[in-house]
Structure formats: structure tokens, C-alpha cells
Chains A and B, each alone.
Chain A
Amino acid sequence: MNKFYLSSLLAVFVLALIAWVGGPSAPWLFGIVLPYLAVILFVYGVARRVMGWSRSAVPFAIPTTGGQQRSMPWIKQNKIDNPSTHLGVFIRMALEILTFRSLFRNTRMKMTHEGRFSYNLEIFLWLGAIAFHYAFLTTLVRHMRFFLEPVPLCIQAIEAVDSFFRFEISYDAIQFGLPGVYISGIVLLAAVVYLFLRRLFIAKVRYISLAQDYFPLFLIMGIAFTGILMRYFTKVDIAAIKELTMSLVTFKALSFKVPQGIGPLFYVHLAFVSTLLIYFPFSKLMHMGGVFLSPTRNLAANTREVRHVNPWNYPVKVHTYEAYENEFRDKMVEAGLPVDKMPEESAEEEKE
């Protein structure tokens, strides 16, 4: 039934096919033009989107307060979830961005037969998300080995940590684990598959999912899968690939002939990555930048202590006390309420 994920899957397959066929026959296009184009569009698109956000005003300070406010000294403030200082906001934002703190609060509502409700901790979305993002980041950083020569020690250190668990399968029928297994790649693929499956099998999530929710998942799945395939199974000429990537980042590519012997799988991998970069600024993936700019998180909850200025604050029509008293003066006097002008005074004023 769900044409949204099928169409996304199809799009990714078509993309793979094009790169598989096109890559080896037009290596210049797929190995040089496409990645450059992707980087340019990514940089331009992200900058444009973020600057677009920055141009919009923040008229009110509307932090979501997730803990006890600062009031009197003897009441313990929750300085992170209800931050009244810039430091508090910084910590709140850092925890939000680095540990997905709000998502960690997630609960799952359940109705039992007697119409009773329970709200229990639901950790798997958080777990999947955090595994996915950190695995992706590690994978990304690891790939620096293709862009730097000599490879800096810090990158080598990350690789060493990432391949800390030596994991090999060695039988006549199957051999796996050489070169050394990077845990991040496996976790990335597993996490992205999990995120897809939960979209598919949790009815509520399936109901809200759009084609643009499935597409990046398939794309990243494809990236991780082709990466793993190249490293552990079909093998590619890694030195030739590095020659290409180095020529790209040193801008020598234009006068450069794409090395022979780079397998088509690499072009699929590269096309996926390029597509992701191009797609990024126009999609929900911009949550990477947006999370920094969410006014419910990045503002201090000291709104009664420090005045927040609205740049477009404009005067509005109000019903003044004078107009109010004019309407009700007689009744007010009769009821013994104080008035600014006695009825005689105001009557005289009207005459004048």
C-alpha cells in the first residue's frame, strides 16, 4: 500500500543503477563533476537556509521550561532544564545536541483493558537515534583518511578505536573481517535499518511518514551497505580511490585522469553520498542546523528577570482607563469606587 517508501526505494535503486553503469563509462562525470557539484550545492544550500532562519525575528522568549524555575534561594532550581543563565542554556543546548536529552525523556502511552493508562520509559527511539548519529559521525571522520596525506595521527587513533573489537569469520565457505572491522559501519547500518523498520512497523509512525522520511533512510542505508560491501566483500582498489579523492580535495582533479580500476560499486557509493549532500539543504535533514535555533531551547528562561526585546513590537489600540471611566463613571461613583474625574468635571470638559 505504501507508495511512499516504495517510490523512495525505487529512486535509490535507479540512482544506484545509473551510477553502476555510468560510473565506469563516464568516470569524469561521476568521479569529479558530481562530487564537486554536491559540495557546492550543499554549502550554498545550507548557508542559504540557515541565513534565511537568521533573518526571521525572535519576537518572544518562549523556552519550554522542563524543571523548577529560579525563584527563591531556598528552592532548588533545575539549572539545566529551566536555565536562567547563559551557562545553563549552553549546557542545556549541549546536552540536547550531544545526548538528545529531550528524546531521552520519551515515554510510551499504553491503555490497558480497564481504560487505565500507563506511561513508561521508551528508550529505543533514543537508542536508535544516538547510535545512528554517532556511528555516522565516526564513519565520516574516519573517511578523512582519504582526504589527507599523510594521514594524521588523530584520524589513525579514531580508526584504531573503531576497529578495537577484532571480529573475523574464517571458514572455507565464508571469510569476513579483513581488513579489520569498523564497528561504526556495522552500527550505522543496523541503526538505519532499525529506524526504517520502526517507521514501517509502528502504525502511528508509518501513518505520519512521508516519502521524504524514507528516502534519506534508504540513501544512508545504501551508503553504509556499499561501504561495507567494498571493504569486506567485493574489495576495491583502495589506493586508486585515494588517488582520486586526494586529487579532488587538492583541486588537481580538473587536470587529472580518473585512475583506472575503480570498481563500479565505488561510483554507486559516491553517487549516494553526493545525492545526500545535494538533498540535504532542501529537506528535513536541516534539523542539524535547526536544532541550534529552536527558540524553545536556546533562550534563557529568565524572562521575568531580563526583558526580551521584540524588534517589530508596535503600538496597539488599547482601551484606556479614561475611556473605561468615561463609560462607567456614574456607576462607579454610585458604588463608591474612586474615580479620576467626578461626573461634574467631565461634564464641564465636554461642554468646553
Chain B
Amino acid sequence: MADETPKPSELLSKIDYHTPSTHWMDVPVNIRKGMYCYASNPKSVEYLGLPNARAWNPIEEDWKLPENWQQILHEGFKERLEKFRSIKVFMDICVRCGACADKCHFFIGTGDPKNMPVLRAELLRSVYRNDFTLMGKLLGRFAGARPMSLAVLKEWWYYLFQCTECRRCSLYCPYGIDTAEITMFGRELLNLLGLNIDWIATPVANCYRTGNHLGIQPHAFKDMLEFFVDDIEEITGVRVEPNFNKKGADILFITPSGDVFADPGTYTCMGYLMLFHFLKEKYGLDVTWSTYASEGGNFGSFTSHETMKRLNAKMYLEAKRLGVKWILGGECGHMWLVINQYMDTMNGPADFLEVPVNPITGTRFDNAASTKMVHLSEFTADLIKHGKLDLKPERNDNKILTFHDSCNPSRGMGMFDEPRYVIKNVANHFYDMPANTIREHTFCCGSGSGLNAGENMEERMAGGLPRANAVKYVHEKYGVNMLACVCAIDRAALPASMAYWVPGMQVTGVTELVANALVLPGEQERTTDLRGEPLPGMEEADE
């Protein structure tokens, strides 16, 4: 697979921002290898009880659609126009000013005009005009309308899975038209016909059954964390003891299962374990993990609002069952979009929980008063601000850091200063990327919203280009060698895109940095960081 992916120089030279001379409605969709993800496994679709489970292949002519698929789409569209004012307004008011055009990382990385957010939305809008507006019915193509057809459907599928729902375009839109909302809506329609990708459908089915995307069963989940416990003991000499499914604990901790599974997220996961151990030893704070709600991420949100709700429900159900006071959420991107903007509405009110109070500092998290879920970076920043952590930031001195604002915590939440505050207190060398590429202007890693599969490497690398380009800037200017982030998909996706575009750049979670600097009670003198790399000044001792 990797050898089929074009080399960076080839990919760069392929980018062509010239628009075709034919009108976009006349440019047929070309579903190209490397730019799409495999179709969903029928077993996963069936397990979830979603429509039209069958084996199908996007590059084949016949997509095995139900006979009345056009009617299903039309009805689905109509129903959602009533259910979502956002869609109705966004369908009506775009003036095609073009402000969003060059904001999308997929457009920047591919030059494909249909990756301009405005055109991505026009793919749907053109059908909306044809089906639901007077002008469209009267004037047809002159009003920008076109009837639904199989070719149009394929175009929808191809380009709705070339959007990572990062919301960058929405920031610049004078009317706040949010392509993420349009993509969520469009994918929901596609799911009515069973047109999902497997990288989303199977994690969703897994998550539904086992509680996490990877399908880790409870005993295995415990085993995996215990591996980390061993590793931590080796490095620090301290044996941490995580709680599982513990009733009556103070706080339930939920993080994406990716952190349990794949490097470098695993080091972040070790960081969580060490931080909670420290808080328990020093302050008696009792944090529990859950095997039932062992997934922070929510690939359901890339499927439909209903599926999102079905998966998310576990968080409150488990918090209620265990009788905790409130929930702490780990480092994840879209998980925090769901928690921050959807969870309370969908599955609340969580009146069985308490307004989150950090028992160690006394800080009341009023901003989470209703949802009762706090972000780990908020929590850690609060601890550091009150001097409750024993830190040796010099242990991170060989890491020259920058911070990647993940799309969802940025434009779906606005968490910018908390993680930066944490990083600056646990490490001494930090440089931000250029202003137009961070904070609310941040670029997606290129693999969000369920697109971090293996078969679409070209798509991912193209989408990751703008982010990588900004990293490269600080890499060359300040010698930055470590890219910090608070998102599990970032930790899974950025190493690949960094190896591709900015060789020599490593990726880390913020809590890994915290744990490196954190002095555990009774620890031995550490010679390595959590990755087993020698600490600054310990290079010789290591040999």
C-alpha cells in the first residue's frame, strides 16, 4: 500500500489549482485509488441494525442500492430540513463569495475544486434546489439545480468522505455556514442507503458491543493497561494501581481507546495512569476507568446523529451505575465536540452527577456545570496553577515543542490556552506555529472524521499537507522536534504525515509530557522518558 502512495514531491507536483474549463456539474466523479476508503463490512452494518447491509465496492458500477433509493434520499432530505434549521438555512443563503474556497486542507492538498467547501456543499445544494425550490424547478441548471442520479450520488459519497468535519471553512464564512454540519447531514443521508466506509462502520459496531472502537473486550482492556503498569514500574520504580469499573470512585475517566492501543498514544495513556496514581497517593483522589465505557471517541458522529447518541449514551449510563461525582475526559478531538456540543442535549440532563469540583484545588468548573464533564487539560492546568503537581520540566529539555490545535477542541469548544499552559509548565522549549495556522485557524491533521484508514494514504497525506507545512516551518526555524496534541486521531495520523512531510518530527500527547515531568512519590531516579529514550543529561548513563 505504502509503495503505491506517491512520493511527497510527486504529490506536490500533482497539485493544480487551475480550474477545469468544463462546468463542475459536467465533470464526472473519478473514484480514485488512494483517495477513498473501503466500503463498510456488511456484518458491522447489520450488527448496528442500519439499513442496506450488503457487500459492495465503491469502484464497481453497481452499488447494490435499494430500488427506491432516490425516494429514500428525497424523503430523508425533506425530513432533515424540518429537523435541522442549520441545513435549511445553509441550503438557502450561500452567496458563493468564495471566502471558504482556499481554507480547506483537502483543497490545498489536492487542488480538486470540489474540495472547496462551497462546492462540496453545492453538490447537495444543487439537488436541494431541484427538489425543493421554485427557482430550481423553473430554471433548472440556470438556477444551479440538477436532478439526483447515480453519478451525483457517487460524487456525494466521494467528496463527503473527503471532508474531515474540521469546521475551518465555517470560521471564515460570513454566514457561518458549517461544512461539518453539511457533511454530517450528507453522511447521514448516505447511511440511509448503507453507503458508509468500513473504517467508520466497524469501529462503531465494535464500540457498540465492547465499549470501544477497537473491539477490546473487558479482560483484554485490563491486560493492556497492566502492560503499561509494568512499563511504568520499569521506568519509575513505582507500581501504579488503576481502578476498573469501581463503584463509588470520585471520578470516571474516559479516553479514546486508541491511546490504549497504538504508539504514541500509549505513552499518553501511561501518562494518564501516572497522573491518577500521583493524585491518589498525594491527595487521595479516586479515579476509575471503565471497560464498558472504554471509548471517548465517537465514530457514530460520522455516521448519523442517532448512532452518535447510541454510542455516547454509555458515558452517562456508566457514570450513573458507578455512582461517581463527575466525568473526566481524556485527550481526544471529536470526542470533545460530541461532549461539548451534543452529549447533554442528547443524553442529559445528568442530574445524578455533581457540578464538577476539583477536590484538590477546590476549583468549581462552572463551564461544565450541566454536562458535568471536564477536559483533562482543564483539570491539569488547574492542578498546575495551584501548584499541586511536583514537576521537573527539565526532564523534557530535549524536546523542542510545538502544539497542534486539534480541529474539534478548537472550533467546537475553544480550548487553546489550557493545553499551552500545561505544556509551558512541564517543558521549557515551546514555539507556536505561524498565527494563521493555529488556534481557531488551525489545520486538520488530514485524517479526522473516520478517514485515518490505510487504503486512502494519498488522501490523508494530501489533507495533512497544510498542517505539516506549518510544522516544517517551526522545525526549520526553531529546531522543533516534537509535535504535541490533545487528540487520539492526531496521535494516530500525524506520525504518518510527519514521516511523510517532515521527517524527524515526533508526535506526543500533552499528558505524556506531564508524566515525564511529574515526580511520583517514592520514584527511583529516572534515566529515560516514557518512550525509553534517555532523559537530558542521562545519555551516557544509559550506555
Touch A–B, Cβ below 8 Å: yes
Q: In the complex, A102 Cα to B413 Cα: how many Å?
A: 18
CB nearest to A290 among chain B residues: B93
Q: Which of A70, A103, A207, A284 has the most chain B CB within a 10 Å cutoff?
A: A207
Contact B415 A294 (CB under 8 A): no
**CB neighbours of A68 from chain B (8 A):** 414-417
Taking the nearest CB of chain B, how far is it from the CB of A108, in angstroms?
Answer: 7
User: B21 contacts A1, CB within 8 Å?
Assistant: yes
Q: Does B321 belong to the interface (CB within 8 Å)? A: yes
- Within the assembled complex, what's the spacing in Å between the Cα atoms of A316 and B306? 7
In the complex, how many angstroms separate the beta carbon of B252 from the nearest chain A beta carbon? Answer: 13
Contact residue range for chain A? 35 or more
Known: A56-B81, A204-B98, A328-B218. A62 touches B181 (CB 8 A): yes
For the residues of A in contact with B, the DSSP-based class is: loop
Docked-complex contact B83 and A331, CB < 8 angstroms: no
User: What 0/1 readout, one digit per residue, does chain A (287-305) give for beta carbons within 8 Å of chain B?
Assistant: 1001101111100011111
Q: Is the CB of B95 within 8 A of A287?
A: yes
Is A177 close to B, CB under 8 A?
no
A337 at the interface (CB under 8 A from B): yes
A129 is an interface residue with CB less than 8 A from chain B: yes
Would A58 and B108 be within 8 Å (CB), given that A125-B99, A291-B174, A317-B49 are in contact?
Answer: no
Q: By DSSP majority rule, is chain B's interface helix, strand, loop, or mixed?
A: helix
A119 an interface residue at 8 Å Cβ cutoff? Answer: yes
A96 to B175, CA, bound (A): 8
Contact across chains for A69 and B367 when beta carbons are under 8 A apart: yes
**Is the CB of A338 closer than 8 A to any CB of chain B?**
yes
The answer to whether A105 and B172 have CB atoms under 8 Å apart is: yes
Contacting residues, chain B, for A327 (C-beta < 8 A): 209
Q: Which of A306-344 contact B (CB under 8 A)?
A: 306-310, 312-313, 316-321, 324-325, 327-328, 331-332, 334-338, 340
A335 and B224 CA atoms in complex are apart in Å by: 12
Q: From residue 353 to 398 of chain B, which have CB atoms closer than 8 A to chain A? A: 363, 365-371, 373, 378, 381-382, 385
Flag if A56 contacts B85 (CB, 8 Å). Answer: yes
Least CB distance, A220 to chain B, in whole angstroms: 13
Query: Does A335 lie within 8 Å of B219, measured CB to CB?
Result: yes
User: Which B residues touch A65, using CB under 8 A?
Assistant: 410-414, 440
Q: How far is the CA of A332 from the CA of B291 in the complex (A)?
A: 10
Residues of chain B within 8 A of A102, CB atoms compared: 99, 171-174, 176
- A96 touching B344 by the CB < 8 A rule? no
List A contacts of B74 (CB < 8 A).
none
B218: A residues at CB distance < 8 A: 328, 331-332, 335, 337
> Is A127's CB within 8 Å of the partner chain B?
no
A84 to B368, CA, bound (A): 12
B178 lies within 8 A of chain A by Cβ: yes
Contact residues on B (Cβ < 8 Å of other chain), bracket: 35 or more
Q: Which of the candidate stretches B113-121, B232-240, B511-519 sits at the interface with the other chain?
A: B113-121
Contact in complex: B175, A207 (CB < 8 Å): no
For residue A287, which residue of chain B has the nearest CB?
Answer: B93
The CA of A299 and the CA of B266, in the complex, are separated in Å by 37
A108, A309, A321 interface centre (most CB from chain B within 10 Å)? A321
- The docked-state distance in angstroms from the alpha carbon of A246 to that of B362 is 70
Check B211 against A324 for contact (C-beta < 8 Å).
yes
Contacts of B119 in A (CB 8 A): 207-208
In the complex, whether A282 has a CB less than 8 A from a CB of chain B is yes
**Is A67 in the interface zone, CB < 8 Å from B?**
yes
Does B59 have its Cβ within 8 Å of any Cβ on chain A? no
Residues of B within 8 A of A (CB): 9, 12, 15, 17-21, 24, 49, 81-90, 92-99, 101-103, 108, 113, 116, 118-119, 122, 133-135, 139, 142-144, 167, 170-178, 181, 208-211, 217-219, 222-223, 244-247, 291-292, 305-306, 309-310, 313-314, 317-318, 321, 339-342, 344-346, 348-349, 363, 365-371, 373, 378, 381-382, 385, 410-418, 421, 434, 436-437, 439-441, 465-466, 469-470
Closest 5 CB pairs of A and B: A69-B414, A290-B93, A335-B219, A65-B414, A296-B176
